[in-house]
Every structure is written in C-alpha cells, then in structure tokens.
Amino acid sequence: MQLGIIGLGRMGGNIARRLMLNGHQTVVFDRNTEFVSTLAAEGAKGVADLPALVAGLEKPRAVWVMLPAGAPTEDTIDTLSQLLEPGDVIIDGGNTYYKDDIRRARDLAQKGLKYIDVGTSGGVWGLERGYCMMIGGDADEVLRLDPLFAALAPGLGSIPRTKDRVADDDRAERGYIHAGPAGAGHFVKMIHNGIEYGMMQAFAEGFDILKTKSSEILPEDQRFDLNVADIAEVWRRGSVVSSWLLDLTADALAGDPKLEGFSGSVADSGEGRWTIEAAMEQAVPVPVLSNSLFSRYRSRGQGTYGDKLLSAMRFGFGGHVESGKK
C-alpha cells in the first residue's frame, strides 16, 4: 500500500523505514528538509509541503501524522482537512488526548473524511522490534488499512502463546488491536502509559532503597554493599519482576551503576495526567499511578512553597529552628 507520513522524527522516520522494508510505498514530509532527504535516499518519495504530499498520493489517500500532540498535530490536521477529499483518511499516530480524537472524528466526518487514532508504543526500538498499536476508528477503515498495521506490528515473534486464549481476532497476538471507535486507541495507549509510570516508579523506589542501604544515612554496621547492576541482571531471569523495563534498567546500570549521567530531573508527558483525570471521571482510586506522576513533579523542584510552609508551622508550634529556617 501507499502511505503519506508527516513528521520524520524518532518515531515517524522509523515507521516509514519499517513500512518500506515490508514493501510499502511512502510519501514523506517534515519541516526539516534533511530528514526528508535522508528518507528519500532510502526509497521514500520526499515532498516539500503538504499540498505536494496530498498530490503525491492515490485516492483514497491515507496520511499518517506523527507529530507532538497539541498544536503541531492539531494545525497539521486542520490544514490536511482542507486539502484532502471525501474518502481519504487521516491517521494520528501521536500521543493525542482521546477527547480530541472524538471531536476531530466528528468534525472531519462532516467533510467526508475519515479519522483513525493509533496509540503507538515502541519508541526508538520500534524499527527493530515492531510497534505495538492500539487503534481507534471505523472498523471497516481499520481493516482496509490492515496491510500497513500488519507490517508495522511486531508479529507473533518468539513470544510464547497465552494458554487458554481463544479469540476470533488474531491481531492482538500479532501486536495490534482495533480497540473501538475514534478515541479508543489513544485511550488504551494513555492507560498503557499510566501503567508504565507506575511500573517505573516501583523500580525507582526499590532501587533507591537498595542504593541507600549502602550509604552513610545508616550506621556502618547496618549497611550492605549491594551491587545494583548484578541485582538488576539476576532479576531478569526467573523472577516475578522480569520485564522490558527491567532489561532497560540492567542496560543502564551495566554501564553506569551510580547513574552519574543523570541529574534526577524527570519529565512527564500528558498521558500520566490524563490517566488520573480519566480515573477521577470514573471514581477509580489510583494512588499508585498518581503518586508516580507526583514523584516526577517533585523531582523537578525543590524548596517548594508547601515545604516552606511546613517549616513555618513547625517553627510556629515548636520553635523548631531546623535546617529549613534560614
């Protein structure tokens, strides 16, 4: 099949490559012309702007937008909606808020355009491992584009089959699902990222205890001199916490056991926050997912106003002249 791709960064560029490796054609655009040239040299048809991209595709056209969520994606889809024709489809493969998908699908349908949201997991490893995709939109349209999704997905691979699994739809086993109508793909991806935050924080807290166990915060006779790189490595084999995140942890600790290459300031993207909002809309208690997000906030600031107020109260009731009182 043929696919237009807008946005050739870490994700979009490799999506084009994986499709071409599987015999599909791509028409690619990025504001950065170097990215376009590079992919053109690898077999893609590079274009200089959106009209050229639309002109370069056969009807019904399919255009995959792989840009940062928010204004970049929104503006691009807005422009595309004026260039495309009824029957064409826009695919948003980024990390869009699912309520934006629902709105867009409704608005685009009024112009006869189709809209598909694809929550795409795989990061920098997707080219090699394939992309795990959670897809929302019209079922027929998702089926029509199946050759593209099948090519991008990891496939059955060497992962053991789930025992007892009986399903009419074998796409899940090949690494992609049609989750439901527009928005459902990004909703499932959002929850995936929420869980990811929680798992990461669980490892972070555990390794923090392991590391601190050898520090001067404890009297010397209570310390253990633990090898965190070996611990991550051994847990990869036969333990309950074995996981891809643990593999990455073992990688990182093998090269830099003190993690001196990192400052400890951790970013967060929208999905963590949206997951908490979704939970609150549904009255689902999410202490772990929320605290994972808050720990990231906390990692980025110090001497917060709230902390200062705690010290002020302590000073008020107990005259505690603590380190916190200047």
d(CA 74, CA 67): 9
User: How many Cβ atoms are within 10 Å of 165's Cβ, its own excluded?
Assistant: 9
d(CA 293, CA 186): 19
- Residue 62 near a second copy by CB under 8 A: no
Site stretch for a second copy (CB under 8 A), options 22-30, 106-114, 142-150, 167-175? 167-175
Which three-class secondary structure state does DSSP give residue 273?
Answer: helix
Tokens 């107020």 correspond to 309
Q: Say if residue 51 is preceded by a cis peptide, omega within 30 of 0.
A: no
d(CA 101, CA 241): 35
The sign of the CA dihedral 295, 301, 302, 308 is negative
Site stretch for a second copy (CB under 8 A), options 30-38, 65-73, 84-92, 245-253? 245-253
Site stretch for a second copy (CB under 8 A), options 40-48, 49-57, 79-87, 229-237? 229-237
Least Å distance between CB 255 and a second copy? 4
- Residue 319 near a second copy by CB under 8 A: yes
Closer Cβ to a second copy, 109 or 312, answer by number: 312
Least Å distance between CB 139 and a second copy? 12
- Residue 74 near a second copy by CB under 8 A: no
The pair of three-digit structure tokens given for residue 319, joined into one six-digit string: 């005259």
d(CA 242, CA 233): 10
- Residue 147 near a second copy by CB under 8 A: no
Tokens 């798992």 correspond to 199
Q: Tell which one of 33, 51, 68, 262 touches a second copy (CB under 8 A).
A: 262
H/E segment holding residue 179: strand 176-180
What's the angle, vertex CA 267, arms to CA 213 and CA 260, rounded to 5?
40
d(CA 2, CA 145): 10
The pair of three-digit structure tokens given for residue 208, joined into one six-digit string: 């923090």
Which three-class secondary structure state does DSSP give residue 222?
Answer: helix
Total site size for a second copy, rule CB under 8 A: 160
Give, as ranges, the residues between 273 and 312 that touch a second copy (CB under 8 A).
Answer: 273, 275-312
Q: Tell which one of 121, 138, 144, 150 touches a second copy (CB under 8 A).
A: 121
Least Å distance between CB 150 and a second copy? 13
d(CA 158, CA 306): 51
- Residue 69 near a second copy by CB under 8 A: no
Least Å distance between CB 305 and a second copy? 4
- Residue 227 near a second copy by CB under 8 A: yes
d(CA 300, CA 236): 30
Closer Cβ to a second copy, 6 or 278, answer by number: 278
d(CA 16, CA 105): 24
Does the annotation count 189 as an active-site position?
yes
Annotated active-site residue in 42, 74, 99, 196: 196
Give, as ranges, the residues between 176 and 215 that touch a second copy (CB under 8 A).
Answer: 176-177, 179-181, 183-184, 187-188, 191-213, 215
Closer Cβ to a second copy, 76 or 275, answer by number: 275
Closer Cβ to a second copy, 23 or 287, answer by number: 287
- Residue 67 near a second copy by CB under 8 A: no
Report the chain's terminal Cα–Cα distance, integer Å.
67
- Residue 153 near a second copy by CB under 8 A: yes
- Residue 325 near a second copy by CB under 8 A: yes
- Residue 1 near a second copy by CB under 8 A: no
Give, as ranges, the residues between 9 and 48 that touch a second copy (CB under 8 A).
Answer: 10
Catalytic sites, residue numbers: 189, 196
